[in-house]
Amino acid sequence: MDAIILQILNGLDKGSAYALIALGLTLIFGTLGVVNFAHGALFMLGSFCAVTLNRILNLSHEVAVPGETDFLGNPLMREVPYVYEWFGEATGAAIIDWSVPLAILLAIPVMGFIGLAMERGLIKHFYKRPHADQILVTFGLAIVLQEIIKYFYGANPIPTPAPEAFRGSFDFGLLLGFDANTILYPYWRLVYFGFTVFIVAAVFAFLQFTTFGMVVRAGMADRETVGILGINIDRRFTIVFAIAAIVAGLAGVMYTPIISPNYNMGMNFLVLSFVVVVVGGMGSLPGAVLAGFVLGILESFASMPQVLDLLPGLNQIVIYLVAIIILLTRPRGLMGRKGVMEE
Amino acid sequence: MGILEVKGVNKRFGGLQALGDVNLSVAEQTCHAIIGPNGAGKSTLLNCLVGKLIPDSGSVMFDGQSVLGRKPHEINQMGISRVFQTPEIFADLTVLENVLIPCFAKRDGAFRMHAIESVDQEPEIKAQAEHILEDVRMLEKSAMLASALSRGDKRRLEMAMCLVQQPRLLLLDEPTAGMARADTNNTIDLLKEIRDKRGLTMCIIEHDMHVVFSLAERITVLAQGSPLVEDTPENIRGNPKVREAYLGEAQV
Amino acid sequence: MLGLTRKDFQLLLIVIGLTMFAPFLLNPFPETSALAQFNAGYPDLLQRFVIFSIFAIGFNILFGLTGYLSFGHAAFIGIGSYAGVWMMKLLTMNIIPAILVSILVAALVSLIIGYVSLRRSGIYFSILTLAFAQMCYALAYSVLTPITGGETGLQLRLNDPRILGESVTEAGNIPVPHLFGLETRDSLELALGNWVFTFNAGYYIAAVAMILAFYLAIRLFRSPFGIMLRAVKSNQQRMSYTGLNPKPYTLAAFVISGMYAGLAGGLMVAMDPLAGAERMLWTASGEVVLMTILGGAGTLIGPVLGAGVIKYFESIFSTINRTVLEGWFAFLPDGLENVVISMIYPFVGKGWHLTLGIMFMLVVIFLPGGLVEGGQRLGRLFRRRGKRDAAEGDPVKPAE
């Protein structure tokens, strides 16, 4: 029993990332009708927002330590980050420690801008082109984005820690009446899950309760009619794309402490997120979220040693296997709507 | 006993009864028209005949065999061809290739792999295709891309594609919709010529009464999914029920 | 000629000529000149040209004709490679059985994957093929390690049985792949003045295979079957109302293109007898898509051009490093030199993929028909200009 709960928990964080990326993907697909193969790259860019902020905060210069000398008698020099000088040592240290959550503030405008630029500069011209062209051009863009990151940040993963306060693990075992240390779960993953729930709720609330969201939902149901009604759907599309980019970016920012970001992390997530979208049903937002978590948890179950003894390698392929079965038996996915991308 | 026998066909879409207990009998080598106001279920009926839709109940027999449950390509091979309301052609291919495809389909069935033979080494097939293009007066356009044709030409091409298969039953879904009067008359002449030359059985859906009365030998009037009357054109013309259902709608 | 029209036969002759004389044609710069690094006439690259051409020709039969965009075709190259190496381990170092089995196994696997994937179309088909390829990749890396060699890849060993050949050569080495005694790594070097031309046996074997594959592709394009495949792309509804079932046609195209990929995989191991899972990665699948698009999907010569251009740029761009750039721009004043170098540097050497990505985007955006369409456009432009010149020239003449 405790093992099962542990696997469910372990599946949550990956499932969260899948859900957030898939949410943006399906939002773009549902409203704009575009298949965005560069969405994984947006997730990766989000992660690098966190890396960048961490580096900026750590910028430092050498300062002489008053009253101390090194063994040659010269004043002792020490690297002091600028933030220490500006905010005092305690606050400065806290700011650096909290660089990952703080990166959210950086990522929102940055990712929003990237989303706007992408939609206006590129995607806009592909609304009427075949899906194959959309896949290809966004695939090219994904390569370009990740190569740019590789050029500036190198190919190696860059560890970026979570704030000190979240580094430990939470003992679910005690809470649920099992032995201590049976179900340990890192705090940061809990935070990530909570964050995901918050973002998903925010996106849904936005679409449900604002007039803007109403138009977008109408657009997802029937793009042409909304266009005919004289609503300037184009501008809204741009904003939807930016929102999807921000969601993917934030998913990336918060994921940095879980996996050290490197330039091709986006591709790995992209393939799986596409599978998630297809399983959830193209164009269905709840489907994407549900499928994200379900597949994340399934993957985690498949990597249990007991399962692997029985079916070795299952953890590597379980998601694809599920996707293949779902596509063949329920072509619309778990919660797909009729008429979206059939045939 | 007609070549096409439709008995008690029902089709519902949710709450809408699209077809209610439709009976239809098309005799061999006649032209049977199905008319009726918009939404009467004419196209739904046609879709049931070619396997695009499956009726909820009832039977559709073609030449003594049921067509229900068969795939569209199997029904076509039984000898039913269909001309669509908006021309369904191979837009990226040339006019000649468009006609070659049904020629090969007729010869090879649903699937046969001729990956090594060259099209140019099939003089019979090519002659057949060119012959039919001549019949519809499109031979000089045979090298054009089908997408570049005018609407009327596309329709003629589609008709040629259906005719070259020498179907035993040709279904026509508003073959003259959106055509100018002169074009309509051309089409009527073409269909008449083909009917006389080949002894073709036709089932035609049409709004244009001029076309209907020039071609049809029998007419079925559909209204709200059910057949109202079936009779000869002369009798239909004077039938008050038809006037009510049809002209009543037309005046609105 | 050979069942081809005059035009197609000419095209075939051109391709034969180009591949046969490639070791000359692609080595235009003398060995001693600074431009020698732009030469492409060395065996390794030439082999890649023809092998990837085969891969792309096959992919084009599926994508170019039927419009089904497979994102998992690299799986078949990988599977073909593994099958080839196994034949060399078990049977003989002669490459014929290896290549035949590569094609066969790839055909079998593509039949299974195709049968399942082709039940959906459009983006769903792309994702299904992608999922299958990723599955193959993941399995090759993990569970199937005894068959695939896992991370290290599948290699020949001294203790392999090779029942029709020898496990170990007399000198105690692993034997090398050969075609009835002609070793694929054998080369004939010809020095003419400052030029050195290398004629590699493996390259010519692969080139013959490529010409054969190209010839079959022409026949297929011009056949009734080819028309049917284009009909699938154009209008499936009309197809089924014409009495044709599109499914077996697409499946046949899928399997044929899988067999082409298997042939490419088999030739790869015939040149260099090892196989690794990275050949199946989805970026490799993306590469063949790019080759086909870049050259021109649905055209005969397009995939060959695309494969050539990409493999050439890949090898040339990735060898340019900072020192080379410094050598080129040494004539510039120091400050300017640094600026120019730092502007070019991100795109070459390790940054080659950046150039590739940009190229990819530019082609899709501005030249969806690929290089072939670009060439046609240019040709039309010149012809029109020629005509205009002639028209303008006429009134001038009498004045003279």
The answer to whether the Cβ–Cβ distance between A151 and C346 falls below 8 Å is yes
**Does chain B touch chain C (at least 3 C-beta pairs within 8 Å)?**
yes
SS (H, E, C) chain B: CCCEEEEEEEEEECCEEEEEEEEEEECCCCEEEEECCCCCCHHHHHHHHHCCCCCCEEEEEECCEECCCCCHHHHHHHCEEEECCCCCCCCCCEHHHHHHHHHHHHHHCCCCCCCCCCHHHCHHHHHHHHHHHHHCCCHHHCCCEHHHCCHHHHHHHHHHHHHCCCCCEEEEECCCCCCCHHHHHHHHHHHHHHHHHHCCEEEEECCCHHHHHHHCCEEEEEECCEEEEEECHHHHHHCHHHHHHHHHHHHC
In 3D, which of A37, A52, A22, A18 has the Cα closest to residue A261? A52
Look at residue C78 in the predicted model and tell me its pLDDT.
Answer: 95
Angle at which helices A265-280 and A285-302 cross, to 10°: 120
How many pairs of residues across B and C have Cβ atoms under 8 Å apart? Answer: 106
Of C363, C132, C129, C154, the C-alpha closest to C278 is: C154
Q: Is the pLDDT of residue B24 over 70?
A: yes
Q: Is the pLDDT of residue B36 over 50?
A: yes
Q: Does C386 touch chain B (CB under 8 A)?
A: no
pLDDT over threshold 50, residue C394? no
Q: Give the C-alpha separation, C229 to C189, whole Å.
A: 45
**Mean pLDDT, range C338-347, rounded to an integer:** 82
Confidence grade of residue C283 (pLDDT, cut at 50, 70, 90):
confident
Q: Most confidently modeled of A239-248, B221-230, C23-32, C135-144? A: A239-248
Q: What is the pLDDT of residues C194-239, one digit of tens each?
A: 888 888 889 999 999 999 999 999 999 999 999 999 999 999 999 9
pLDDT of residue A337: 60
pLDDT at C398: 38
Between the CA of residue C12 and those of A164, C1, C35, C219, what are the distances in Å?
68, 10, 31, 11
Q: Does A28 touch chain C (CB under 8 A)?
A: no
CA B248 – CA B242 distance, rounded (Å): 9
Cross-chain residue pair A278–C127, CB shorter than 8 Å: yes
Q: Do B90 and C238 count as a contact with CB atoms less than 8 A apart?
A: yes
Q: Which residues of A touch C286 (CB under 8 A)?
A: 139
Q: What is the pLDDT averaged over residues C147-172?
A: 85
Which parts of chain A sit beneath pLDDT 70? 223-224, 226-232, 336-343
Q: Residue C211's pLDDT is what? A: 96
Closest CA to B26 of B45, B53, B39: B45
A278 touches chain C (CB under 8 A): yes
Contacts of B92 in chain C (CB under 8 A): 230, 233-234
Q: B121 and C5 in contact by Cβ < 8 A?
A: no
Cβ density class C150-166: b for 16+ within 10 Å, e for less: beebbebeeebebeebe
**Burial class (CB within 10 angstroms; exposed 0-12, middle 13-18, buried 19+) of C63:** buried
Output the average pLDDT for chain B: 85
**Structure tokens that stand for C193 in this block:** 């003045």
Closest CB from C67, C126, C134 relative to A320? C134
List, in order of start, the domains of chain C with CATH numbers. Answer: 6-280 (1.10.3470)
CA of A152: which chain C residue's CA is closest? C346
Whether A37 and A270 have beta carbons less than 8 Å apart is answered as: yes
- The pLDDT tens digits of the residues spanning B77-136 come to 989 999 988 889 999 999 999 999 999 888 888 888 888 888 878 888 889 899 889 888
Q: Determine the Cα angle at C380 with ends C374 and C385, to 5°.
A: 130
Interface test with C, best of B108, B111, B124 (most C CBs within 10 A): B111
C245 CB within 8 Å of a chain B CB: yes
Q: Hey, are the CB atoms on A147 and C123 less than 8 Å from each other?
A: no
Mutation target for C interface from B62, B73, B97: give the one with most C CBs within 10 A.
B73
d(CA A289, CA A286) in angstroms, rounded, equals 5
DSSP-derived secondary structure letter, C94: B
Q: A341 to chain C: which residues are within 8 Å by CB?
A: 122-124
Tell me whether residues B110 and C4 touch, CB distance under 8 A. Answer: no
Please tell me the predicted confidence (pLDDT) of residue A230.
66
* Chain A and chain B touch, per 3+ beta carbon pairs within 8 A: no
Both tokens of A91, joined, read 């606050």
Domain A2-56+99-329, what fold? ABC transporter involved in vitamin B12 uptake, BtuC (1.10.3470)
* A137 shares contact with chain C (CB less than 8 Å): yes
Per-residue pLDDT at C88: 92
Considering only CA atoms, which of A306, A254, A310 is closest in space to residue A7?
A306
Structure ipTM over 0.90, yes or no: no
Q: Is the pTM of this model over 0.90?
A: no
In chain A, what are the helix, strand and coil shares in percent, each to the nearest 5? 70, 5, 25
Half-sphere exposure of C374 (CA within 13 A, CB side): 17
pLDDT greater than 80 at residue C35: no
**Better pLDDT: C256 or C190:** C256
Domains present along chain B, CATH in parentheses: 1-79+167-252 (3.40.50.300), 90-162 (no CATH)
Max Cα–Cα distance, chain B, nearest Å: 62
